[in-house]
Amino acid sequence: MFLIAILANTMKRQKPVHDRFYETLPEITSFDQALDSSSFQPFPADWSIVVTDVVNSTVAIESGKYKEVNIAGALATMALANELADMDFPFVFGGDGTTFVLPPSLLERARPILADTQRTVRSLFGLDLRVGIVPLSDLYAANLTVTVARFRVSPRYRQAILEGAGVDAAERLVKDPERGARYRIAESDGEQGAASFAGFSCRWQDVPSERGETVALIVKPSPGQPTARVMQEVLALLRLCLGDEQDYNPLASGPHALAPADKTVAEAWVSARATSGLRVALSHLMIRFQVFMLGMVIRLGIPLRDTGKNLAEVVDENIRHSDFRKYDGTLKMVIACSRDEREKLEQGLREMSDEGRIRYGLHVSDRAIITCLIHPNSPQEVHFVDAAGGGYALAAAQLKRAAGGPSGVTPPATESAQ
């Protein structure tokens, strides 16, 4: 039986050559290359783009559920990674949801996993996770492109960089009340327990910005503008106002502290797939023991290793494998800065907006949220980063309002620690 299990797992891990398109892409090693058109290649036409997002996320955030929205937006990634036996597939986290691009042989395996994730999000957090699958052939038939580059963030994390009008079009299709019905999947498409969330971790307190502010920023080129040139100018503006990336990385800007007991309850819920009962209590007890042991390892500098990483250096690992910036046709960043630096940056963005070259939205907080995905059977991991109090979701809402006029961006509301 043991041999059969090994063979079954090996077969699960092996992928047809066609399905390994993304894994075999040449890697870019700097974020600036992500805006170079020569770095991108089109996905095969028989792949599909999967869009997930929390319905009415702004309302949920305003009711105080911003952490639950982040968890709901991230869980599908962990579930798919466990089903596919690695994290080496294209995905982009957006705060209240994630976009994936999958080959046909993985799509049918993914459908019940995604449906069960919907059910889990609803039962644990009372949130509606919308999921839709749009064949790229539908987008390509409408002359809409979806291309990809593979960015080597760290030895443990390769980030997908997406480009093309098809990315936004897929999201619009899935959200469309009428046309979206053919693309959306329902909770009934998968049995309870189909998804595994092993490796999902939420054990860190929010990271305060020692520079004063943590800003979730979304910038999109205006229609008809030369995308690469405009985005390079935005990155140059960021460097001018904030310095180099290590200066504004929000996880490098403040102290990291392990979460107290009341802040790890959500992880226990996910692990137990329930909000009360003995399983939840036992799961939470195990998490608290692991948090205590990790704290001892960090304080004493004990060279304990797990899945190839030195646990005494876990804070540096959080920073190294984070996704505080990404690009999927829209630049998304979480940055640490002072108020003066943010106002200088915003002035430059407003000028570009008034010239009709970009649209943007931002949300200002004083700390960053970390949601960790650490694959249990491989050395791969990623630490999703958002700004507290609504982050990307509220920045996206501002961007949508900005689409109606030149500047169109209302002054950001600052969300402070409680």
pLDDT (0 to 100) of residue 413: 41
Q: Is the pLDDT of residue 2 over 50?
A: no
Tens-place pLDDT, residues 129-182? 999 999 999 999 999 999 999 999 999 999 999 999 999 999 999 999 999 999
What is the DSSP code (8-state) at residue 164?
A: S
Tens-place pLDDT, residues 289-302? 999 999 999 998 88
The first and second tokens of residue 70, run together, are 């982040």
pLDDT (0 to 100) of residue 245: 86
Distance in Å from the first CA to the final CA of the chain: 53
Query: Do 208 and 254 meet the contact criterion of CB atoms below 8 Å apart?
Result: yes
Tens-place pLDDT, residues 211-270? 999 999 999 999 989 988 999 999 999 999 999 888 899 999 788 999 999 999 999 999
The first and second tokens of residue 17, run together, are 């050559």
The first and second tokens of residue 57, run together, are 């996320």
Residue 403 corresponds to which amino acid?
Answer: A
Tens-place pLDDT, residues 265-288? 999 999 999 999 999 999 999 999
pLDDT (0 to 100) of residue 14: 54
Tens-place pLDDT, residues 317-335? 899 999 999 999 999 999 9
Handedness of CA 344, 345, 346, 348 (dihedral sign): positive
pLDDT (0 to 100) of residue 7: 39
Tens-place pLDDT, residues 44-63? 999 999 999 999 999 999 99
**Of 85, 100, 91, 88, which Cα lies nearest the Cα of 48?**
100
Q: Is the pLDDT of residue 408 over 80?
A: no
Exposed, middle or buried by CB within 10 Å (0-12, 13-18, 19+), for 24?
A: exposed
- Helix%, strand%, coil% for the chain, nearest 5: 45, 25, 30
Query: Do 249 and 318 meet the contact criterion of CB atoms below 8 Å apart?
Result: no
Task: Spell out the SS3 assignment of 252-296.
Answer: CCCCCCECCHHHCHHHHHHHHCCCCCHHHHHHHHHHHHHHHHHHH
The model's pTM: 0.88
